[in-house]
Amino acid sequence: MSPIPDDFEQLRRLLALKRHEQPPPGYFHGFSRQVIVRIKAGELGDPVEAAGWSFGGGSLLQRIWATLDARPVLAGAFGVAVCGFFVVGALLSDNTGTAIAGNPPTPPPGRIAQASPFWEEAKFDTEAPSLIGVGGLPNYQPPAIAPTTSPSGSLFEEIRRAQSPRMSPQSGLSPQSGMPTAVSVSFSNP
């Protein structure tokens, strides 16, 4: 079937409407400048792109992706390796967790006798200037941490005990460094 030349005349007139579709006024004034700016940005080294780590044309990641895409076997091996890595990581972390839970560290017996509840030692901290309160959040109230009876051998208590003799209760400053204690915690005393 061969069309008569004028068959599409009306359609062509209608399509002419599209010639009147225009971008926003002044759009083309900045177009070439934007192109040049983007070219310059690319040339002068967007550090990521210059190093070839971006997904832009021909980058290292793109080439790796293309390689994996082209060779499904390689992609599968890569996937298996990643899964294996996670499985081994999970197993190792599980073993470590079991070891800690099964054999809690026992502190030297002498220290247990001297130990007192850590919230009593930490009381002076409530007097220390709070960096958070002084700054942009005047109404901020630090959350009250209810004391819990921790086992005498807890790691947290050990750390508190090791730090507390070096603290100056009056000033809230560390006597060794002379720096203010950055975090203040209020403990509600039951």
Partner 1 sequence: MIMTEPARRKPADEQAQGSAPRAARRDEEQVPAPPQIDEMELVKRARDGDLESYDELVKRYQERIYATVYHMTSNHEDANDLAQEAFIKAFHALKSFKGGSSFYTWVYRIAVNKTINFLKQRKNKAQMSLDDLDFNVEHNPDLIALISDKTPRREVNLAELQEKLNGAMQKLSEPHRLVVTLHDVQGLSHEEIAKIMDCNIGTVRSRLFYARQQLQAYLSDYLK
Q: Which residues bind partner 1 (CB under 8 A)?
A: 3, 8, 10-24, 27-29, 31-36, 38-40, 42, 57
Here the tokens at position 127 are: 């007097």
DSSP SS3 for 187 = strand
Q: Which amino acid is at 170?
A: Q
**Closer residue to partner 1 in complex, CB, 63/166:** 63
Least distance between partner 1 and beta carbon 37 (Å): 10
Residue number with CB closer to partner 1 (56 or 142): 56
Measured from the CB atom, the residue of 39 and 137 that comes closer to partner 1 is: 39
Considering beta carbons, is residue 11 or 81 the nearer one to partner 1? Answer: 11
Least CB distance to partner 1 at residue 159 (A):
54
Cβ 71 to partner 1 shortest distance, Å: 22
Q: Are 115 and 152 within 8 A, CB to CB?
A: yes
Q: Give the burial string for 84-103 (b: 16+ CB within 10 Å, else e).
A: eeeeeeeeeeeeeeeeeeee
Minimal distance, residue 41 CB to partner 1, in Å = 10
Tell me which residue of 164, 158, 180, 166 sits closest to 123, measured CA to CA: 164
CB of 21 to partner 1, least distance (A): 4
- Tell me the β-bridge partners of 145: 187
Cα 48 to Cα 38: distance, rounded to the nearest angstrom: 15
Nearer to partner 1, 34 or 103 (CB): 34
